[in-house]
Amino acid sequence: MCDWGYKTAVDCSEILSDGKLSIYERWAFWAEHTEKMNEIPMDEDTLDALAVAVGEKDYFVYSFTAESFFHKAGFDSRRIYSAAGSWEFLQCAKACSSSSVFPSSEAVHEILSNLREYSVVTNDCLPKCSHCGGDCIPNVRLNDKFCHERYSEGLSNLISWLEEIAASKTRLVIVELDSAFKANRLSAFPMESIAADLASCALVRFSNERYPWVPAVLSKAVGLPTKSFHELPELLAHAESADGQMLSVAAEKEVEQAAESRKLQRQERDLSVEPIHWRRILQHLGEDLFNCAYERSM
């Protein structure tokens, strides 16, 4: 795979649409990549630190990776919204039905068995939609054919959870992990809109960038640089010494300092930005893409 330029997991995310490869080569590479991803062990230190930081607090996970890390780590699936979908599922490439979504494990097994036994992938072992018999694609938000149905319950739970927080004016801290400006605007933008709309909300953004960016219009937000996730346990370690309270205190101090400097920036620049309500943005993520595709094909 390296000979074809696929050196990282991110490179491999678009392997099934690589025009340089035949359809059989694409699926063979995809199956090998999926198998490798399944073999990568969880980062237990980071997970332990996260578990301690979360403790008994009320929480919700908004994930924009399709690797299902939080599910695998044992977080409550009712408290996870996987906005990007999941590599663990395939869907009909034409999105012929909103429920045409299937586990990908069988296809991976079939392709790899064929590849290892006969050194070739044939049409017979490529995954097909069980509704229309057509081709399949990963159930991941790669284009406007993405079937969102599997994730709709998570989205609805997230919206209800946020509405309760807004109504009760409970204090909310959004902790963003690995949120680089260039990479993940679809992840960062909804979180920024929540932080802008909820008065009692603070945003703490961990990023591998040297100078993590947060919008100047947010009154309680801070970007903290981390070089890798191996540093995360250390950053969160303070939580262990005070039953989860230290992280909030340390983060709050940084948030206050950053808020003060941005307040000055705003006054200087006389910024006037109208916040967009978080509910509208989140609902847009769950828009019924299947219906849109269906209407266009009529």
Nearer to Zn ion, 46 or 100 (CB): 100
Nearer to Zn ion, 96 or 155 (CB): 96
In whole angstroms, the minimum distance from the beta carbon of 102 to Zn ion comes to 10
- Residue 100 binds Zn ion, judged by CB under 5 A: yes
- Say how far apart CA 128 and CA 107 lie, in whole Å: 9
User: Which DSSP letter does residue 179 get?
Assistant: -
And the tokens for 195?
Answer: 């932080």
Helix (H, G, I), strand (E, B) or coil at 176: strand
And the tokens for 49?
Answer: 């630190």
Q: Give the residue among 218, 200, 197 at the shortest CA–CA distance from 281.
A: 197
In whole angstroms, the minimum distance from the beta carbon of 136 to Zn ion comes to 8
- Residue 92 binds Zn ion, judged by CB under 5 A: yes
Q: Within positions 145 to 184, which residues make up the interface with Zn ion, using CB under 5 A?
A: none
Nearer to Zn ion, 129 or 188 (CB): 129
Nearer to Zn ion, 97 or 226 (CB): 97
Query: Contact at 8 Å (CB) between 148 and 108?
Result: no
Q: Give the residue among 261, 298, 290 at the shortest CA–CA distance from 91.
A: 290
In whole angstroms, the minimum distance from the beta carbon of 109 to Zn ion comes to 21
Q: Give the residue among 138, 177, 174 at the shortest CA–CA distance from 158.
A: 174
- Say how far apart CA 20 and CA 22 lie, in whole Å: 7
* Binding track over 111-140 against Zn ion, x by CB under 5 A: ------------------x-xx-x------
In whole angstroms, the minimum distance from the beta carbon of 97 to Zn ion comes to 6
| Beta-bridge partners for 102 | 90
Instruction: Indicate the pairing of strand 172-176 with strand 136-140.
Output: unpaired
Binding-site residue total for Zn ion (CB under 5 A)?
7
Stretch that binds Zn ion, among 84-92, 203-211, 239-247, 257-265 (CB under 5 A): 84-92
In whole angstroms, the minimum distance from the beta carbon of 61 to Zn ion comes to 30
In whole angstroms, the minimum distance from the beta carbon of 29 to Zn ion comes to 23
Candidates 90, 96, 175, 255: give the one binding Zn ion (CB under 5 A). Answer: 96
Helix (H, G, I), strand (E, B) or coil at 32: helix
Contact residues: Zn ion, CB under 5 A: 92, 96, 100, 129, 131-132, 134
